[in-house]
Structures are given as C-alpha cells and as structure tokens.
Amino acid sequence: MEAPAETHVGHGYVNHKDDLLKRLRRAEGQVRGIQRMVEEDTYCIDILTQVSAATKALERVALALLDDHLSHCVAAAAEEGGAVSQEKLTEASNAIARLVG
Amino acid sequence: MEAPAETHVGHGYVNHKDDLLKRLRRAEGQVRGIQRMVEEDTYCIDILTQVSAATKALERVALALLDDHLSHCVAAAAEEGGAVSQEKLTEASNAIARLVG
Amino acid sequence: MEAPAETHVGHGYVNHKDDLLKRLRRAEGQVRGIQRMVEEDTYCIDILTQVSAATKALERVALALLDDHLSHCVAAAAEEGGAVSQEKLTEASNAIARLVG
Amino acid sequence: MEAPAETHVGHGYVNHKDDLLKRLRRAEGQVRGIQRMVEEDTYCIDILTQVSAATKALERVALALLDDHLSHCVAAAAEEGGAVSQEKLTEASNAIARLVG
C-alpha cells in the first residue's frame, strides 16, 4: 500500500508533519493523564470529561489528515483521471464513513 | 452559491436522485412515526431506538451525497485546478467536519 | 415492553411532550425541505448543511428523551433496587451506546 | 468535586480498574503508533484507519465508565433522592451530551 520513498513528497500531510506530531503527542499525554486519574480513583465524571477531550483531539487530527489527503492525493489522482482516481475517491469515502460512524 | 441551471447536470447526485429521495421519504416517515410514539406515550427506550435509526438513516444520506460530491464536483474542480479547486476542497472539508462533529 | 396505561404517567418525557413534538415536527419539516432541495438540483454542499442540521436536531431530541428517562424511569427503578433497577440501567447504557456509535 | 478517600470504594469503575487501565494503555500505544506512521510518511488513508480505531477505543472506555457511573454513583444518589440526586443526573446527562456531540 506504500508508495516508494521518492514519491512520499506527495503525501498530503508532509508539510504539516510537525503540527500533526505535536497534536498526537498532546493526545498521548491526555491518554496517559486519564490512566493516572483512574489509578488515583478520580471521580468518574471528571475522567469522562478528559476522555471526551482526547477523543475530540483525535477527531481533529483525523480531519486535518483528511483535509490534506483530499487537497493533495485525491486532487492529484483526479488530474490523472481514470481508475486510479476512482479508487482514491472510494478510499477517501470509506475513510470518511469510518470517521462519521 | 448556485451554479447556473445549465451546469446542474454536473451535480454529483443527479444519477442517484431517486435513491436519495426514497431514503429521505423513509427518514421522514421515521420522524413521523416517532411523533406518533410520543403522542401514544410509548416507552422512552423504544422511542430512543427509533430516533437512533432515523439519525443513522440521515447520516447515510449525507455520506451518499458527499461521495457523489467528491466523485463529481471536487474531481471536476481538481481537473481545472487553481483557486476554484482549492475552494471546493475547503468546502468539502468543512462539510465533513460538520458531519463528524 | 409497554407498561400498562395506568403507569404511563411515570414516563419521563410526559411533561415535555409538547416540546418534543414541536422539535420532531420541525425535524420532519427539515427532512421534507431536503427532499425539495434534491428535487430542485440544489448544490450538494448546501444540501449537506441541511442534512447535518436535521441530524443534530434529532440528536438533541434523543438527549432530551434520555435526560427525562434517567431522571424518571431509571431514578424510580433505582429507588426500588434489585433486578428491575439493573435491567433499566443496562437498557439505558445500550441506548447511550447506540447514540454514540 | 472529589469525595473523601474513604468513600472512593463507591466509585463505579473501582471493580473494573484493571480492565480500564489495560484499555487505556492500549489506546496510548495506538496513539504512539500513529506518531510513528506520520514520522515514517505512511500513506494518509492507512493513518486515518488507525486514528479511527484509537477514537473508537476511547469511546468504548467512555461508555464503560458511564455504565459504571450510572450503575453505582447515579443509582446510589437516586436512592437518597433530593437535590444531590438531581445534580448527579444533570452531571451524567451533560457527560452523555459531550460524548454524543
């Protein structure tokens, strides 16, 4: 599924890599914080608030990735047209359906 | 926001209009059924089950519309490239964010 | 699944029936409006905006129903305790999972 | 917001602590895996699949916490009745709304 390294430059998120990694590290920190809350018997509702925050943070990462993907990979495929283009669009639609569902 | 009538033929969902309308009529029937349940004092949980079903039905309509939109409008814009293409992609990303959020 | 008519008075939403029906009628109107948009070949993204609005409206109905249900039916069951109480809680948890998923 | 340590035993999730921590550690591992994928320029759609999986894992943690909370804290409050009971229910409803929205 991986394109050869030379074409990686085309990956949509390549210019936002630092931003994505920063968000993901923060989400990781949130999940670790939730573990600590469970270990310390924090009140259920306060834990739930943190779990919702971490979930939303991951959803925003997903939307950013999808945004980059549509702008680069899908747009590039559409310019070429044909079967590859259709395949990319189906792939993107399936990813969106997983996010929504 | 509306393209002139002559280009409507390009609207992504134009070939699925009957399918979309059938789904939407079914969703409308579900919402009317829920009203009847409330009027007849149906048990809360049974009403909730129907509300979830109607919500999922509308989400599937949204995914079908988005699918057609990406395949047609966005792909067509990408072939032209430039500012219009970027605008279409931003528009699509915002619509996806509203669906997920 | 339906309790006998005499106990209906205990249904959580009974005091909010008018409010629920008003919201549901508005949601029904939104779904009908979406059908009209499809029939009139409205631009995909504008339709999607309306579908998201109708979905959110139904989600708010679900949350209002669940709220009433927890305040009345589940609270009443908890006061009685025992197997019925547990059953009500499981039922409510399953309804919440359907809403979230 | 925190009850004194002696009453912690009543926290809904106390009997599922190991299970919750196991799930949370797995979610943390998933988020770290996603960072690695970004660093290694993995294909956008494959990353999105993992982000969706981590999001769903956190949603399941939230549902498990809420389930325990309704069964224990809310049920206990309902048995006592009165203002505390109402406050607990409002708190739970708000947590559910954050999960759904």
**What digits encode the pLDDT tens for the residues B31-44?**
999 999 999 999 99
Bigger pLDDT: D71 or D56? Answer: D56
List of chain C residues whose C-beta atoms are within 8 Å of the C-beta of residue B31: 24, 27-28, 31, 58
Structure tokens, C17: 């029936």
The pLDDT score that the predictor gives to residue A10 is 55
**Sign, CA torsion A91/A96/A98/A101:** negative
Q: What is the sign of the dihedral through the CA atoms of D5, D7, D12 and D18?
A: positive
User: What residues in C contact D78, CB-CB < 8 Å?
Assistant: 74-76, 78-79
- Report residue D23 as tokens: 């799930």
Cβ–Cβ gap A63/B96 under 8 Å: yes
Banded pLDDT at A60 (limits 50, 70, 90): very high
Q: How far out from the chain centre does Cα B36 lie? A: 25
Amino acid D12: pLDDT: 76
Nearest partner of C63 among D101, B60, D65, judged by Cα: D101
A vs B: CB pairs below 8 A? 60
A16-100 belongs to which homologous superfamily?
Metal-sensitive repressor, helix protomer (1.20.58.1000)
pTM comes to 0.84
pLDDT at site C101: 77
How far apart CA D5 and CA A43 sit, in angstroms, is 11
Chain D residues with beta carbon closer than 8 angstroms to that of C62:
100
- Contact flag D41-A8 (C-beta cutoff 8 Å): yes
- Map out the domains of chain C as residue ranges: 16-100
The predicted pLDDT at position A13 comes to 83
* Stated length of chain C: 101
Cβ distance B38 to C16 under 8 Å?
Answer: no
The DSSP annotation for B66-87 comes to HHHHIIIIIHHHHHH-HHHHHH
CB contacts of A17 in chain D (<8 Å) are 38-39
Please tell me the distance from the alpha carbon of residue A78 to that of residue B100, in angstroms, as a whole number: 24
The tokens describing A52, both together, are: 């919702």
Across the interface, whether the CB atoms of B65 and C54 are under 8 A apart is answered: no
CB contact under 8 A, A44 and D69: yes
- Name the residue type at position B58: L
Would you say how long chain D is, in residues?
A: 101
Taking an 8 Å cut-off on Cβ atoms, the answer to whether C95 and B48 are in contact is yes
pLDDT in tens, C31-66: 999 999 999 999 999 999 999 999 999 999 999 999
Q: How far is CA D46 from CA A2, A8, A59, A93, C43, in A?
A: 9, 14, 15, 13, 31
Q: Do A100 and B59 touch (CB under 8 A)?
A: yes
